[in-house]
Amino acid sequence: MASQGTPKDSFHCVAIIFFLLGLGTLLPWNFFITAIPYFQSRLVVGNCSAGEEDWNRTAPGLEPASHCSDDFNFSNWLALLSQLPLLLFTLLNSLLYQCIPDKVRILGSLLGILFLFSLTATLVRVEMAPQSFFSITMASVWFINSFCAVLQGSLFGQLGSFPQNYSTLFLSGQGMAGSFAAIAMLLSMASGADAQTSALSYFVTPCVGTLISIICYLFLPHKDFARHYLNRKRQEEEPGWELETKTGLLPPEGGAPDGSKEEPLHVSNGKVLALEQVEVKCPPGMMNKSNGAGLAPPKPSALGVLRKIWQLALCIVMVFSVTLSVFPAITARVVSASQNETWRKFFTPVCCFLVFNLMDWLGRSATSYFLWPQKHLRLLPAVVGLRLLLLPLLLLCNVPSRSYLPMLFQQDAWFVLFMVVFSLSNGYFVSLTMCLAPRQVQPHERELAGAVMTFFLALGLSCGAGLSFVLRALL
């Protein structure tokens, strides 16, 4: 329960800011994967030229003709080279977060993302060989996701000091990023503009979104509500965070409960200690009333924090390993069984990307209303493991040019049904694990817990991206 001195979040400004910051952290990844048809149209080799395939005319997700095949395996490499730097720099951020101020990390990352997305938008107008375009694009993907790793880990660390619902709003904003990218792609495809103009307008959008994120973060410390929790976080990291003997433990006038003058005793690890030797943790900012002295909290240990949240860390790895193993490397290759050319053109943007991101957002938002199984965390890995059953179902959908596995679910409705369950469960379990992790540790360990969970999130993404090569080969 908030104290009477806690400022109010007037007009929910801070909540909106964290929602927009969550949106900004995943805009780069979602804008790249949603634009896979554009990138594939510029990477065709053989008898096709880069300008012959228009992303407005070609049904996204359809395999190009044999002489224009996807020799670069773009979607697989995009997933892998997005997640490896995310893993490495999340680990680096969790180790060095105390050496570099969070403001420097967050603003520096946002500015780096803005610069690289501006470069990506500029390349739309530049003609170059497919090999050169692939190399530059993959380098941009690597560095953008390196910045995203630092940005995401730093923001999760700050959120540990805010009330629980702000973490949920941040995760909900991340879930909305994919829908935002899918809608931007649909609008650019439906605009009727030429291919270059559509692609340029599409990639300018995340530049504007990142600029808005920078403005929001700069505005955040000017809100009393945010400043209250950010200052409390700093107090927890400094020697002002105190240890105090709680009211009621000391008997009146220093006597024992039975009226004698003996000092009460306390048993700890088999040793009998006087009460004055017992350290009792108090809320941040409170002083030791006996002598006014202040003691710093113990330095949090990554291993100690992991012991408390290992089940949640395991779950986040399992969730993203399953998700990235098929999305988008497999799901973007599923085509419509309909003969309607317009529907075939919009099938992948709508049924793969838009459905996934809308359901993922709903799943993340659901944790605002319930957190099951919050009180039975031992059940969580088993429940999360049930998502493995969705892998064969998606592999058996209508993917052309397969060599080994049969095609059992050709109708579009099957694919949409599987995607709804797949994405809804992804969003819910991601938000659940990230929301529960700070509750398992002490207040001064919350930032490190956020960094540790972000590292395992990136580990799951990297495992899934690597597994996607195996699953694609099985087709």
pLDDT at site 191: 80
DSSP 369-394: T--TTTT-GGGHHHHHHGGGGHHHHH
**0.85 surpassed by pTM:** no
Q: Is residue 294 included in any domain, yes or no? A: no
Above 70 in pLDDT, residue 278? Answer: no
Q: Is residue 359 included in any domain, yes or no? A: yes
Q: How far is CA 475 from CA 166, 329, 333, in A?
A: 42, 12, 11
Domain residue limits at 155: 11-235+299-474
Closest C-alpha to 72, from 94, 41, 102: 41
Euclidean distance between CA atoms 361 and 95, whole angstroms: 30
Q: Is residue 46 included in any domain, yes or no? A: yes
Region of residue 301 (left: phi > 0; alpha: psi -120 to 50; beta: else): beta
Lowest average pLDDT, out of 84-98, 151-165, 185-199, 401-415, goes to 84-98
Q: Is residue 127 included in any domain, yes or no? A: yes
Q: What is the CATH number of the domain that holds 323?
A: 1.20.1250.20
* Total domain count, the chain: 2
Euclidean distance between CA atoms 199 and 201, whole angstroms: 6
The vertex-62 CA angle with 58 and 67, nearest 5°, equals 85
Q: Is residue 1 included in any domain, yes or no? A: no
Euclidean distance between CA atoms 204 and 212, whole angstroms: 13
249 and 394 part of one domain: no
255 and 312 part of one domain: no
Q: Contact 453/434 with Cβ under 8 angstroms? A: yes
What average pLDDT does this structure show over 342-350? 91
pLDDT at site 285: 44
148-162, 182-196, 431-445 — most confident range: 431-445
Above 80 in pLDDT, residue 71? Answer: no
131 and 202 part of one domain: yes
Tokens 């650019």 sit at which residue? 188
Q: Is residue 362 included in any domain, yes or no? A: yes
List pLDDT tens digits, range 32-58: 888 887 888 888 765 444 433 444 444
Consecutive H or E run containing 225: helix 224-237
List pLDDT tens digits, range 123-141: 998 988 999 999 999 999 9
403 and 442 part of one domain: yes
318 and 453 part of one domain: yes
What average pLDDT does this structure show over 355-376? 88
Q: Is residue 292 included in any domain, yes or no? A: no
Consecutive H or E run containing 427: helix 412-436
Q: 273 in helix, strand or coil?
A: strand
135 and 97 part of one domain: yes
309 and 356 part of one domain: yes
213 and 251 part of one domain: no
pLDDT at site 448: 81
255 and 360 part of one domain: no
Q: Bridge-partner residues for 265, per DSSP? A: 274
205 and 264 part of one domain: no
Q: Is residue 4 included in any domain, yes or no? A: no
Tokens of 439: 């509750």
113 and 184 part of one domain: yes
Euclidean distance between CA atoms 188 and 122, whole angstroms: 17
List pLDDT tens digits, range 238-262: 544 443 333 333 334 444 434 444 4
113 and 58 part of one domain: yes
Euclidean distance between CA atoms 202 and 189, whole angstroms: 9
